[in-house]
C-alpha cells in the first residue's frame, strides 16, 4: 500500500490592500474504503481571525476562515500524508445493463435513493443537454453492461479531445468543450459527468491529486504536479466506480481523492470573498511524493 506526502501551496497577491476576506477551502483528503488520511496540517498567512472546520453537505472536510486584518498577500499551504489501497477489480461485463441502472436507483430505499439520485440532476457547471446525450449514446446501446459503456465513453473522450491548458478557463461551459474538443482534466471530468447524467445515470465530480512521472532521463521537479479531476459512477452491486477520462483508466493507487460533489463549484480547493484588493495574481504549486517503506515497516521520505 503506497503512502504519499502532498504539499499544496496557493498564493494570492493583490495590487491593493484587502481589508477583510472570507474563504472556504477543500484541502484535506477524504477517508474512503481505499484511502486513509494519516495526518494533515494547514498553514495560513496572515493568521485567520476566525476559522472553523466541518464536513460539508457531501461529507468533505472543509475549512472556513476569515482574515480581518489588512493584507496584500494571502498564502494557504496544506501538508498531508495519505495511504492508498488497491481497488477491487471485476469483469465490466458482469455489471447491470445500463438502461436498468436508473430504475434500480429509483427503487432503492429512501436514504440510499437521496445519496445516489442527487447526482442525476443538473448542477451549476453541468447542464443536461441533448447534444451531450447524443455524444454519450454511442457508448450505450440498449442492454450494454453499465461499466462496459462507461469505459467506452472514457476511452472516447480520451481519444476525441486534446489536452490543451490554453483552451479553457474554470468557467468554460461544458457544451463549448464538447464542440471545441479541447480542455483540461476538469473539462473532461465535467463532460463525462454530463454525459452520464444525460442518460439518467448517477455520476459525481471528484477532485484530487495524481502522482506524475519525471521527464524521461530527468528528475522530477518539486512543485510541478497539479490538482487532478475525474469521475465517479454509481454502479449497482459495486458501489461507486472511478473513471479518469484524461488518462483513459480506472484510478488506482496513484490517485489521491480530495473531495467530491456535483461539479467543480462544490469543491474548489480555495475560494472566497474579499473587500478591496484590486487586481490579483495567483500562484499554485503542488508536489506529490511517494514515500518508501523501510525494513522496519515504517514510512520515510525518499
Residue 156 belongs to domain with CATH number: 3.10.620.30
Asked whether residue 144 falls in the same domain as residue 13, the answer is no
Q: 299 lies in a domain?
A: no
Asked whether residue 158 falls in the same domain as residue 257, the answer is yes
Q: Would you state the cell numbers that stand for residue 251, as one nine-digit string?
A: 484510478
Report d(CA 134, CA 93) in Å as an integer.
23
Asked whether residue 180 falls in the same domain as residue 272, the answer is no
Q: What is the pLDDT of residue 66?
A: 98
Asked whether residue 128 falls in the same domain as residue 211, the answer is yes
Asked whether residue 98 falls in the same domain as residue 60, the answer is no
Asked whether residue 105 falls in the same domain as residue 51, the answer is no
Asked whether residue 119 falls in the same domain as residue 236, the answer is yes
Asked whether residue 202 falls in the same domain as residue 148, the answer is yes
Asked whether residue 162 falls in the same domain as residue 272, the answer is no
* CA angle in degrees (0–180, nearest 5) for 216-218-220: 105
Overall domain count for the chain: 2
Q: What is the pLDDT of residue 65?
A: 98
Asked whether residue 182 falls in the same domain as residue 281, the answer is no
Q: 301 lies in a domain?
A: no
Asked whether residue 99 falls in the same domain as residue 233, the answer is yes
Q: What is the CATH number of the domain that holds 42?
A: 2.60.40.2250
Q: 186 lies in a domain?
A: yes
Sheet holding 239-243, edge to edge: 239-243, 227-235, 203-210, 255-261
Residue with cell 465530480: 205
Contact 39, 81 (CB under 8 A): yes
Q: What is the pLDDT of residue 225?
A: 74
Q: Would you state the cell numbers that stand for residue 10, as one nine-digit string?
A: 496557493
Q: 300 lies in a domain?
A: no
Q: 232 lies in a domain?
A: yes
Q: What is the pLDDT of residue 115?
A: 82
Q: 298 lies in a domain?
A: no
Q: What is the pLDDT of residue 47?
A: 97
Asked whether residue 100 falls in the same domain as residue 45, the answer is no
Q: Would you state the cell numbers that stand for residue 288, as one nine-digit string?
A: 506529490
Closest CA to 288 of 6, 1, 42: 6
Q: Would you state the cell numbers that stand for residue 38, as one nine-digit string?
A: 494519516
Q: 302 lies in a domain?
A: no
Q: If you write DSSP's letter for every residue of 51-72 in order, what string do you get?
A: EEEEE-TTS-EEEEEEE-S-EE
Task: Give mean pLDDT in consecutive 10-residue pieces for the chain, a chain of 302 residues.
Answer: 94 97 96 94 97 96 97 97 88 93 70 81 96 98 97 98 94 96 96 97 96 68 71 92 95 93 96 95 93 51 38
Q: 230 lies in a domain?
A: yes
Q: Would you state the cell numbers that stand for residue 249, as one nine-digit string?
A: 483508466
Domain that holds residue 74: 3-85+267-291
Amino acid at each position: 500500500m503506497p503512502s504519499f506526502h502532498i504539499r499544496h501551496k496557493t498564493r494570492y497577491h493583490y495590487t491593493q490592500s484587502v481589508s477583510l476576506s472570507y474563504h472556504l477551502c477543500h484541502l484535506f483528503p477524504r477517508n474512503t474504503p481505499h484511502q486513509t488520511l494519516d495526518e494533515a496540517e494547514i498553514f495560513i498567512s496572515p493568521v485567520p481571525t476566525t476559522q472553523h472546520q466541518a464536513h460539508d453537505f457531501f461529507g468533505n472536510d472543509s475549512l472556513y476562515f476569515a482574515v480581518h486584518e489588512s493584507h496584500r498577500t494571502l498564502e494557504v499551504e496544506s501538508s498531508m500524508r495519505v495511504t492508498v489501497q488497491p481497488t477491487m477489480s471485476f469483469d465490466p461485463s458482469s455489471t447491470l445493463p445500463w438502461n436498468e441502472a436508473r430504475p434500480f436507483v429509483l427503487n432503492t430505499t429512501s436514504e440510499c435513493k437521496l445519496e445516489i439520485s442527487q447526482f442525476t440532476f443538473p448542477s451549476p457547471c453541468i447542464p443536461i443537454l441533448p447534444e451531450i446525450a447524443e455524444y454519450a449514446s454511442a457508448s450505450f446501446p440498449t442492454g450494454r453492461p453499465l461499466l462496459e459503456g462507461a469505459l467506452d465513453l472514457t476511452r472516447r473522450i480520451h481519444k476525441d479531445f486534446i489536452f490543451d491548458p490554453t483552451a479553457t478557463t474554470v468557467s468554460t461551459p461544458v457544451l463549448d468543450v464538447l464542440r471545441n474538443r479541447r480542455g483540461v482534466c476538469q473539462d473532461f471530468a465535467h463532460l463525462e459527468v454530463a454525459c452520464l447524467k444525460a442518460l439518467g445515470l448517477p455520476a459525481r465530480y471528484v477532485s484530487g491529486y495524481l502522482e506524475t512521472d519525471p521527464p524521461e532521463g530527468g528528475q522530477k521537479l518539486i512543485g510541478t504536479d497539479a490538482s487532478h479531476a475525474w469521475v465517479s459512477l454509481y454502479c449497482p452491486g459495486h458501489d461507486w466506480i472511478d473513471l479518469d477520462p484524461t488518462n483513459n483508466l480506472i484510478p488506482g493507487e496513484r490517485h489521491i481523492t480530495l473531495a467530491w460533489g456535483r461539479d467543480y463549484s462544490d469543491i474548489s480547493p480555495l475560494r472566497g470573498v474579499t473587500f478591496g484588493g484590486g487586481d490579483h495574481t495567483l500562484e499554485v504549486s503542488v508536489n506529490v511524493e511517494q514515500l518508501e517503506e523501510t525494513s522496519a515497516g515504517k514510512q520515510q521520505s525518499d
